[in-house]
Chains A and B, each alone.
Chain A
Amino acid sequence: MKYILMMNTMRAGAGVPAWPKADLQAHIAFMQSLNRDLRDSGELVSAEGLSFPNQARLVRADRHGAPVTDGVFPESKEFLAGFWIIDVDSPERAYAIAARVSAAPGPGGAPLCMPIEVRPVMSAPPPEML
């Protein structure tokens, strides 16, 4: 079963985190080792980090179908900072991985306990349906 783990932790108004170097490095090392573990366990489908919200644009089609872009967001809007797609044997395993992401170290090495949104990725129908 495939799941997407979404880290909705960026705020439109916030810039890059101003953490001490050691804490920043610990955070980056944590994410790298997480990705390595998921690759080694044969569960990683893909993992991507996204740019900061200042590069985000909201696009709509105008009446003729041409793109109209807007880059102004309310400061409180949450943005997707990154996501993982994993292929695991059970929802419990997906939740366990999400909990590990959630506990990534922040300032002072304390776990951030970020909210991680977990959702199944749509797949083929189960055969009993047919």
Chain B
Amino acid sequence: MTHSATAGPWDEASERLLRGLAPQVLGVIARRFRDFATAEDAVQEAMLAAFQQWPREGIPENPRGWLIRVASRRFTDTVRSEMARRQRETAIAAEEEPAIGPAEIEADMDPEDTLILLFMCCHPALSSSSAIALTLRAVGGLTTAEIANAFMVPEATMAQRISRAKQSIRLSGVPFRAPNPLERRERQAAVLHVLYLIFSEGYASSIGARLQRLDLAEEAIRLTRSARALLPEDAEIAGLLALMLLTDARKAARTEANGEIVPLDKQDRTLWHRGEIAEGTELLRLALSRGAVGLYQLQAAIAAVHDEAARAEDTDWPQILALYELLRRVSPGPMVTLNHAIAIAMVHGPARGLEQLQALDSDERLSGHYRLDAVRAHLFEMLGQFEKAVEHYRTAAAGTTSLPEQSYLMTQAARLEDARRKNQSQLE
């Protein structure tokens, strides 16, 4: 491969450029050869080749053309060896050799490719873990190894998950084209949900982060940005992007140096990322002005109210309570009810919040869930009923499957008990 390389060192911007090209290249190859699964493998191989060569030899003058050439060669190699393996009909394979010129490549480009791919990868036939993995590879331009590392599973397992996902798509018979308006409406929720899950996974797992783990929250923001660029009029995509930015803005403040969780009301707010808050707030303002308020816009609005308080005690809880009431109507669910109860406690006092929680005991999705105990513990602490608070903190700690959260909850119980003992010894 000859490089008329551009000068300049390989940096994060070059990496972003390369990853951003992945869906464009995949769009061209998949449309040209009408085989999404094989095309996606071929593009992955071209990406791996680029990750090896470009940092060493520089970025080629036409990076997209480079990737398309390599990927289409890999594609025909695969098809040819498959044919040779099956029937040794090399003559037929040779006829199918593509010779793609730069003009044709440009003609093959479709500005909607990233969107078409997102809709495909978030197909309802896929489990969420498969959709996430495939989206990160096909649209995000990540390598299998990077995705495997992010989810802490072996690379071979992740490769299988991706190939099974493509098999399900093939079996479902979705054509590689832009969804019609009806399909788009139906499937858009699935796309947003997958992007949200990628963000959540990244945001949650960066606590006690292992070294060299890919920042999935950043990847989710990047993917949602590109979806928004393609659908600038869509208020829910804007809402989702705003929610991600307004949440990600608190990243630096939500853990101690030792990995301990710092709850929202104890965070050092000077560490919050002002730029992300400003961008998220502006996005949200634009989205809300379009009417039809959805689930993500409401959550973003709640995040924005938290973010605009300079101190925890300045938080506009009545506003948050009003937003949760709307959210309960738009997207009812036990987690929303739980957060709604916290807002009630903050506005009308912990006793009212605890009353609200009783309704959840009969909800089988949440009864006995550790989050319910964690919230109760907090509200009992607010009420000054420390013994009950300790009990619920400990029940919650035994119920969570998160190590940092378990330490946090056990520490809360220990803190209250230490304080109680100290008080007692002062009284004696």
> Which chain A residues have a beta carbon within 8 Å of chain B's beta carbons?
1, 39-46, 87, 89, 120-130
B203 touches A127 (CB 8 A): yes
* 10 tightest Cβ-Cβ pairs between the two chains A and B: A42-B161, A125-B402, A124-B205, A125-B405, A42-B160, A124-B204, A120-B401, A122-B403, A127-B200, A89-B127
Question: How close is A106's CB to chain B, nearest CB, in angstroms?
Answer: 29
> B392 at interface (Cβ–Cβ under 8 A)?
no
A127 touches B204 (CB 8 A): yes
List of B residues within 8 angstroms of A39 by Cβ:
156-157, 160
Distance in angstroms between the alpha carbons of A41 and B162 in the assembled complex = 10
List of A residues within 8 angstroms of B162 by Cβ:
42
Known: A42-B162, A43-B157, A89-B129. 10 other contacts (CB 8 A): A41-B164, A45-B157, A122-B403, A122-B406, A124-B402, A125-B207, A125-B405, A127-B203, A130-B204, A130-B254
A40 touches B160 (CB 8 A): yes
A124 touches B207 (CB 8 A): yes
7 pairs, CB–CB < 8 Å, chain A vs chain B: A43-B161, A44-B157, A122-B402, A123-B205, A124-B201, A125-B402, A130-B204
> B261 at interface (Cβ–Cβ under 8 A)?
yes
List of A residues within 8 angstroms of B405 by Cβ:
125-126, 129
B interface SS class = helix
Distance in angstroms between the alpha carbons of A44 and B359 in the assembled complex = 39
The digit string for B369-409, where 1 denotes a CB below 8 A from any CB of A, is: 00100100000000000000000000000001111111000
List of A residues within 8 angstroms of B164 by Cβ:
40-42
List of B residues within 8 angstroms of A46 by Cβ:
154
Question: How close is A97's CB to chain B, nearest CB, in angstroms?
Answer: 14
Give the residues from 250 to 304 in chain B that come closer than 8 angstroms, CB to CB, to chain A.
250, 254, 261, 263-264
List of A residues within 8 angstroms of B339 by Cβ:
128
List of B residues within 8 angstroms of A43 by Cβ:
157, 161
List of B residues within 8 angstroms of A121 by Cβ:
401
Contact of B153 among A40, A45, A125, A128 (CB under 8 A): A45
Distance in angstroms between the alpha carbons of A128 and B153 in the assembled complex = 24
List of B residues within 8 angstroms of A122 by Cβ:
401-403, 406
> B22 at interface (Cβ–Cβ under 8 A)?
no
Most buried by B among A46, A126, A130: A130
> B337 at interface (Cβ–Cβ under 8 A)?
no
Contact of A127 among B154, B247, B406 (CB under 8 A): B247
B261 touches A125 (CB 8 A): yes
List of A residues within 8 angstroms of B400 by Cβ:
125
A42 touches B207 (CB 8 A): no
> B335 at interface (Cβ–Cβ under 8 A)?
yes
B371 touches A128 (CB 8 A): yes
> B14 at interface (Cβ–Cβ under 8 A)?
no
Q: Which residue of A lies closest to B160 (CB)?
A: A42
Question: How close is B298's CB to chain A, nearest CB, in angstroms?
Answer: 14
A45 touches B154 (CB 8 A): yes
Q: Which residue of B lies closest to A90 (CB)?
A: B127
List of B residues within 8 angstroms of A126 by Cβ:
200, 204, 371, 402, 405
> B151 at interface (Cβ–Cβ under 8 A)?
yes
Question: How close is B369's CB to chain A, nearest CB, in angstroms?
Answer: 11
B401 touches A123 (CB 8 A): yes
> B128 at interface (Cβ–Cβ under 8 A)?
yes
List of B residues within 8 angstroms of A120 by Cβ:
401
A129 and B371 in contact (CB under 8 A), knowing A42-B160, A87-B153? yes
> B158 at interface (Cβ–Cβ under 8 A)?
yes
> B130 at interface (Cβ–Cβ under 8 A)?
yes
A124 touches B404 (CB 8 A): yes
A87 touches B261 (CB 8 A): no
Most buried by B among A45, A46, A89, A123: A123
Q: Which residue of B lies closest to A93 (CB)?
A: B127
List of A residues within 8 angstroms of B264 by Cβ:
130
Give the residues from 152 to 171 in chain B that come closer than 8 angstroms, CB to CB, to chain A.
152-154, 156-164
Distance in angstroms between the alpha carbons of A39 and B128 in the assembled complex = 18
Question: How close is B357's CB to chain A, nearest CB, in angstroms?
Answer: 15
Q: Which residue of A lies closest to B154 (CB)?
A: A45
Most buried by A among B128, B250, B402: B402
Give the residues from 87 to 140 in chain B that come closer than 8 angstroms, CB to CB, to chain A.
127-130, 133
Distance in angstroms between the alpha carbons of A46 and B148 in the assembled complex = 13
A44 and B254 in contact (CB under 8 A), knowing A122-B403, A127-B247, A129-B371? no
Question: How close is A60's CB to chain B, nearest CB, in angstroms?
Answer: 26
Distance in angstroms between the alpha carbons of A1 and B153 in the assembled complex = 11
List of A residues within 8 angstroms of B208 by Cβ:
124
Question: How close is A118's CB to chain B, nearest CB, in angstroms?
Answer: 13
